[in-house]
Amino acid sequence: MLKELAQDFIMKQVSNKIAETTWLDPKIIDNVTDEWLSSLIMWLANNTKTASWAEWLMSALTKDHDGSLLDNVSDLFWEAKGVEGNKILDHILWSKKESVEAQIWKDTWLDISQVANILKMAAPILLSFLGKQTKSEWFWLDDLVWFLGQEKEEVKQNSTWAGILWSLLDQDWDWDFDAMDALKMMS
């Protein structure tokens, strides 16, 4: 549901502006964001298995990604938001940001800079939708972890892209990026 909300928002409110800056057809942007949002949800869900990372995310959502961006879409196209989008990607993907961008580039045959521009615009939108969830009085840290786990399961069931991107990281095919995967990647 989170992915569908973000993707629908991007297609209705943002894709034409992204198309102007990337010179892409909005349908291509839809494909890239479909693949990207699936991957980002998988990363978020797996990162929140670590308590300190889940706390960091909850704090970021309540302070910086409260959903207000969705009311001021034009803010997304400021250069500062692009920098913010890159920071989000760095926090969530760590050292794998370039690998994910390269995989999407291979899947879509877009220029790598076009892919990077789409990703850095889509990340704050997804976090804004997630941030709106945290505004509820009943939404606590455990709720965030549970919610992202449910979203991950939905993505796994409904997205072909998630499997492609996740295969970059999940070396033992258990739908979890853990120490075993890291060891296999280093060997």
Letter for the amino acid at 48? T
pLDDT for residue 79? 60
pTM: 0.79
Domain count along the chain: 1
Instruction: Using alpha carbons, select from 50, 51, 11 the residue that is nearest to residue 27.
Output: 11
Write b or e for each residue in 65-85: b if 16 or more Cβ atoms lie within 10 A of its Cβ, otherwise e. Answer: bbbebbeeeeebeeeebbebb
pLDDT in tens, 158-170: 866 555 555 555 5
| Contact in structure between 41 and 151 (CB atoms under 8 Å) | yes
Listing DSSP states for 118-168 in one string gives HHHHHHHHHHHHHHHHHTSTT--HHHHHHHHHHHHHHHHHH-HHHHHHHTT
pLDDT at 173 over 50: no
Residue 34 domain boundaries: 2-186
pLDDT for residue 83? 77
pLDDT in tens, 105-158: 787 778 888 888 888 888 888 999 999 888 876 788 899 999 999 999 998 888
Distance of CA 180 to the CA centre of its chain: 24
Helix-helix angle 51-63:141-158, to 10 degrees: 100
pLDDT: is 99 or 185 the higher one?
99
Task: Map tokens 């965030």 to a residue.
Answer: 144
pLDDT: is 45 or 110 the higher one?
45
Letter for the amino acid at 112? I
Letter for the amino acid at 10? I
Listing DSSP states for 71-125 in one string gives G-GGGGGSHHHHHHHHHHHHHHHGGGHHHHHHHHHHHH---HHHHHHHHHHHHHH
